[in-house]
Amino acid sequence: MSGDRRKDSAAEGSSSRSITMTTAPADLHHHQQQPSAAPLSRYESQKKRDWNTFGQYLKNQTPPVALSQCNCNHVLDFLRYLDQFGKTKVHLHGCVFFGQPDPPAPCTCPLRQAWGSLDALIGRLRAAYEEHGGSPETNPFGNGAIRVYLREVKECQAKARGIPYKKKKKKRNNQLIKPTTTTDQDSKVLKQSS
């Protein structure tokens, strides 16, 4: 019986070697192509996916919209379209939980795309547009109407969810410069130069 096992394992080993040998040339060819096309970063992969999604959205319009004809209105429509896939509860004005960050019970208010997600999406699409030959001056993702829309979404969601967004304070140049005081090191330099 032990002899039968050896024959089986030998047979398995030989078959696995033949599989390895038959797939090896394909693997080598595959590995030769990889160095020329390095794997994309998470950001680049997401940007490519977002760009393809936006392109598909334009193609599905009636009539289809060419990318060269795309304007900020198409971008705004795309952002509104994405709301149906959102996961952020945004309470309506009439909801008893309006303005509460952690409501105690469920409600029927809609789920929307979070402001931060939309903001990041627009940043990626703005970059992708220019990478695909679009001019920064005509970039529909950089249009002022998009910034206004994002600001309104941000404010609306902050009020509805009771979560204030605090504006980051900009550092002024004069705050970065420390008041000049004479230190021991400065004193030594001054004495040496005089």
The rounded distance, in Å, linking the Cα atoms of 190 and 118 is 56
> Which domains can be identified in the chain, with CATH numbers?
42-166 (1.10.150)
Q: C-alpha 144: how far from its chain's center? A: 21
What's the pLDDT score for residue 168? 65
Per-10-residue mean pLDDT, the chain, length 194: 46 39 41 62 96 97 93 96 93 90 89 95 97 94 96 92 70 55 45 46
Q: Return the half-sphere exposure (C-beta side, CA atoms, 13 A cut-off) of residue 127.
A: 13
Q: Could you give the 3-state DSSP secondary structure of residue 112?
A: strand
User: Any bridge partners for residue 111, and if so which?
Assistant: 89
Among residues 85, 109, 108, the alpha carbon closest in space to that of 160 is found at 109
Adjacent-strand bridge partners of 88: 112
Alpha helices, DSSP H only, in the chain?
Answer: 2-33, 42-59, 72-82, 115-131, 144-161, 173-176, 184-193
Q: What is the pLDDT of residue 136?
A: 93
Report the alpha-carbon distance of residue 125 to residue 151 in Å, rounded.
Answer: 18
Give me the pLDDT at residue 83, please.
93
Tokens of 38: 């390095």
Q: Please, which residues have CB within 8 angstroms of residue 95's CB and are 6 or more apart in sequence?
A: 107, 109
Measured CA to CA in angstroms, residue 118 lies from 76, 121, 122, 168, 174 at distances of: 11, 5, 6, 19, 35
